[in-house]
Amino acid sequence: MKKLWGGRFREKTDRLVEEFTASLPFDRRLYRYDIEGSMAHCRMLRKQGYLSTREEKRILSALAGIRRRIESGKFAFGPEDEDIHMAVEKALIRKAGPAGEKIHTGRSRNDQVALDMRLYLRDEAGEVLGLIGKLQSAILRKAKAEIDTIMPGYTHLQRAQPVLLSHYLLAYREMFDRDAARLKECLVRINVMPLGSAALAGAGLPLDRRYVARLLGFPRLSENSMDAVSDRDFVAEFIFGAGLVMMHTSRLCEDLVLWSSGEFGFVEISDAFTTGSSIMPQKKNPDVAELIRGKTGRVYGNLVSLLTVLKGLPMTYNRDLQEDKEPLFDTVDTVKASLSILTAMIGHLSFRRARMKEAAADGFSTATDIADYLVRKGVPFRRAHAVTGKIVADCLKKGRRFSDLSLAEFSKYHPRFGKDIFRAITVENSVSARQGPGGTSKKEVVKRIREIEAEKKK
């Protein structure tokens, strides 16, 4: 079949070239946005006098029919179709006749694909934001349910200080808050209308770009036609934002993988979100959490892939930019699937509260509280730190815990110790003592939960 752009060519395109350059196998998912953009362009062409009202109706009707056929699976994509733009335009010309041949007036595939990508990503970024919100809600529900659960906090993967499990969970909610803020900022830069930039220099006909922008819901027009057709910053920015989302999900999943092991025993992941072993009957594997962790590297790879495509491109449009779609589409699919399944899995976690509290009390996790106790008694912190370190060293040597010591033994280390030291070194007191803004005390955690719920109601 003759190419729509084939007027100056005398030889038929080699089949190998058609196969190598084709993007239709993956960019066909843009069909809805390609048709939506063409409909807006059609209305503008009629407004500007390039189409009659009859031609406009014929084109709009034909485009609507093509969309229905694609959605129903009845549309026949041909092997000679290069991309979704050519496939739709060929079908339009077959259906609408000479009127359909006018649809590309003042338009290039360069600004057409830029428009499709922005329309697509505007919708998908909105969906990702919605999924982040659902994940945050699941985290918040679990935090409220575990408001009295004490666990060991870690640094360097070593037990450090007791914290509330709710405080830990809300830490991830804060991470996803930042992710949402980044994607909202990215949406501002996505939501720019490039159509009318044509190939690179702008349209040579008097088009009404602002009218098209209003039809498509764009608040802004691109300001430079050369930048508009070659810009993929918004794609890279989205993938970067998605990469941070995945990094945060990966960190959470890493903890769940560790915590579900026999060595930790902090959490039970529902059977519905685990798998078994093909040879070891006793195994219950946290495969969902592991796969999310693994897929994070895939999204990182997509970002590096796109940045590598972009790094050496001369102005303006180059066919290399066809390689932007697969990394983007894969990122969208991966982050949406990961957020959806993680949200569901969190709702089916059962925490072993007694085990977590026991671990929180082990490993001298209230040592800082002993130092703080001495500080409140007027001892300089560095001296208090050294005294506490000596107590820890002696306990390790003798196989004892803080709770095994008598007041007389505490007093040998420093005369400022009193009977109230035994209350200070409980995990409950350690947690409740952290009452500063952002601390792990129940008072502060409940306060933060109420703030979040109030923000959600606005």
The one catalytic residue in 156, 278, 350, 406 is 156
Cis peptide before 316 (omega within 30 of 0): yes
Q: What is the DSSP letter of 114?
A: H
**What is the SS3 assignment for 347?**
coil
CA distance 419 to 422: 6
In the block, which residue shows the tokens 């934001």?
129
Q: Are 426 and 366 in contact (CB under 8 A)?
A: yes
- Taken as a whole, the chain contains a residue count of 458
Q: What is the DSSP letter of 441?
A: S
Cβ-based neighbour number of residue 156 at 10 Å: 6
Active site residue 156: yes
Beta bridge partners of 159: 154
Phi, psi of 97 (to 5 degrees): 70, -145
Which residues are CB-neighbours of 419 under 8 A, at least 6 positions away?
A: 407
Beta bridge partners of 221: 193
Q: Is 57 exposed, middle or buried (0-12, 13-18, 19+ CB in 10 A)?
A: middle
Phi, psi of 408 (to 5 degrees): -60, -40
Task: Pull the structure tokens for residue 394.
Answer: 């002696």
| Per-position b or e across 222-261, b if 16+ CB within 10 A of its CB | beebbebbbbbebbbbbbbbbbbbbbbbbebbebbbbbbe
Task: Pull the structure tokens for residue 111.
Answer: 């600004």
CA distance 393 to 180: 46
Angle at 351 between CA 349 and CA 352, to 5 degrees: 145
The one catalytic residue in 277, 340, 348, 403 is 277
Catalytic residue numbers read 156, 277
